[in-house]
Chain A
Amino acid sequence: MDLEKLWQSALGEMEVQLSRANFATWLKNSRIVDKRDGTLIISLPNNFAKEWVENKYNKNILGAVRNFDPSTKNLEFVVHSTAVLEPKTQKITTGDFQRFENKINLDFKIDPETNLNSRYTLKSFVVGSSNELAFAAANAIIDEIGTKYNPFFVYGGVGLGKTHLIQGIGNEVKARYGGKLRPRYVTSEKFTSDVIWGIKNKRMEDVKRRYRDCDLLIIDDIQFVGGKRATEEEFFYTFNALHELNKQIIISSDRPPQSLPTLEERLRSRFEAGLTADIGFPEYEMRVAIIKSKLLEQDRNLSEEVIDLIARKVKKNVREIEGVLNKILFYREAKRIDLNPKEVEEIIRKTVKDFSHRVSEDQIIKAVSDFYNISVEEMTGRVRKKEIVEPRQVAMFLIREILEMSYPHIGEKMGRDHTTAIHAVEKISREINQNSSLSQKMNLIKELVFKE
Chain B
Amino acid sequence: MNVVVIKEKLKEGLDSVSRSGGENKELPILKNILFEAKNNKIKLVSTNLEIAITAYIAGKVIEEGVTTIPLALFSGIVNGIQTERINLEVKNGVLDIKTDNYNAKLQCISSDEYPLIPKIKSKKNFISMSADNFKSSLEQVLSAAQVLENRPDLNSVLFTLENEFLVLTSTDSFRLAEKKIKEGDFKQEGMENITCLIPLKTAVEASKIFKEGEVNIYIEESQILLENEKVEIISRLLDNKFPDYKQLIPKKVDAEVVINKNDLLNALKLSSILSSRTNEINIEKEGDRAIKIFSNEESVGENVYTLSSKIKGSFEKISFNWKYLSDGVRAVKTEEVFIGINDESKPATIREPNEGSFVYILMPILKS
Contact = CB atoms under 8 A, between A and B. Distances in A.
Contacts of B222: 47, 79, 82
Contacts of A182: 277
Q: What is the interface residue range for chain A against chain B?
A: 35 or more
Interface string A100-116: 00111101111111100
Chain B interface, >50% SS class: loop
Interface stretch (B35-43, B84-92, B204-212, B240-248): B240-248
Given A48-B47, A118-B368, A24 B116 contact: no
15 contacts: A21-B26, A25-B26, A46-B236, A48-B117, A51-B119, A82-B237, A84-B153, A87-B150, A102-B243, A104-B173, A104-B176, A107-B173, A111-B365, A111-B366, A180-B299
B189 interface: no
B278 A104 contact: no
B27 A104 contact: no
Contacts of B49: 25, 46, 48-49
A158 B269 CA distance: 45
Which of B119, B244, B245, B278 is most buried by chain A, counting CB atoms within 10 A of its CB?
Answer: B278
Given A48-B49, A50-B118, A82 B239 contact: yes
Which of A25, A51, A81 is most buried by chain B, counting CB atoms within 10 A of its CB?
Answer: A25
Contacts, number: 104
A104 B240 contact: no
A50 B238 CA distance: 17
A401 B301 CA distance: 64
B152 A105 contact: no
Nearest to A123: B368
B116 A48 contact: yes
Top 4 A-B residue pairs of the complex, sorted by shortest distance between their CB atoms: A47-B118, A108-B363, A107-B173, A84-B152
Interface stretch (A170-178, A342-350, A373-381): A170-178
A110 B347 CA distance: 14
A355 interface: no
B31 to A, nearest CB: 13
B116 A55 contact: yes
B291 interface: no
A51 B152 contact: no
Contacts of A174: 368
B171 A171 contact: no
Contacts of A85: 152
A37 interface: no
Given A47-B222, A47-B234, 17 more contacts: A21-B27, A25-B24, A48-B116, A48-B117, A51-B116, A51-B117, A84-B153, A84-B155, A84-B238, A102-B243, A102-B248, A104-B243, A112-B321, A114-B278, A174-B368, A178-B298, A179-B297
B174 A112 contact: yes
Interface in A87-109: 87, 89, 102-105, 107-109
B368 A87 contact: no
Interface of A: 21, 24-25, 46-52, 55-56, 79, 81-87, 89, 102-105, 107-114, 118, 121, 171, 174-175, 178-180, 182, 190
Contact of A179 (B155, B239, B247, B276): B276
Interface string B139-181: 0000000000011110100000000000000010110100000
B46 to A, nearest CB: 12
B173 A108 contact: yes
A85 B238 CA distance: 11
Contacts of A24: 26
B52 interface: yes
B73 to A, nearest CB: 21
Contacts of B221: 79
